[in-house]
Amino acid sequence: MYIFVITTMAITTNFYQYWNIYAIVGAVLFLISDSMIAINQFVQPFPYAQLGIMLFYYLGQWGIAYGGCKKIKD
C-alpha cells in the first residue's frame, strides 16, 4: 500500500500545474529512495544501501523544495 501511495505521489507531480522539472525529478528521486528502503529491508540487503538511500532522499527533497520555491519566486 505504501509503495502505491508513493508511486501515485510521483506520478501526480506531472499533472500539478505549478510544479516544474525540479519538483518532478525530486519526486522520482524520493520514490527511488523509498524503493531502495523496501528492497534493502524486505528483498535482499545490498552494499552501501544507507548511502544510496540517503543520497536519493536528500536530492529528492531538495528537488521538491527547490521546485516549489522556484515557482513561488517566478
As a whole number of angstroms, the distance between CA 73 and CA 38 comes to 36
The pLDDT, as a whole number, for residue 20 is 81
**Host domain of residue 35:** 2-73
Closest CA to 71 of 29, 31, 13, 7: 13
Query: Is the CA virtual torsion 21, 26, 32, 38 positive or negative?
Result: negative
In 1-74, which residue ranges form alpha helices assigned H by DSSP? 2-12, 21-38, 49-73
Closest CA to 53 of 65, 43, 41, 64: 41
pTM: 0.78
As averages over each run of 10 residues, the pLDDT of the chain (74 residues) reads 76 70 88 92 94 97 86 58
How many structural domains are present in the chain?
1
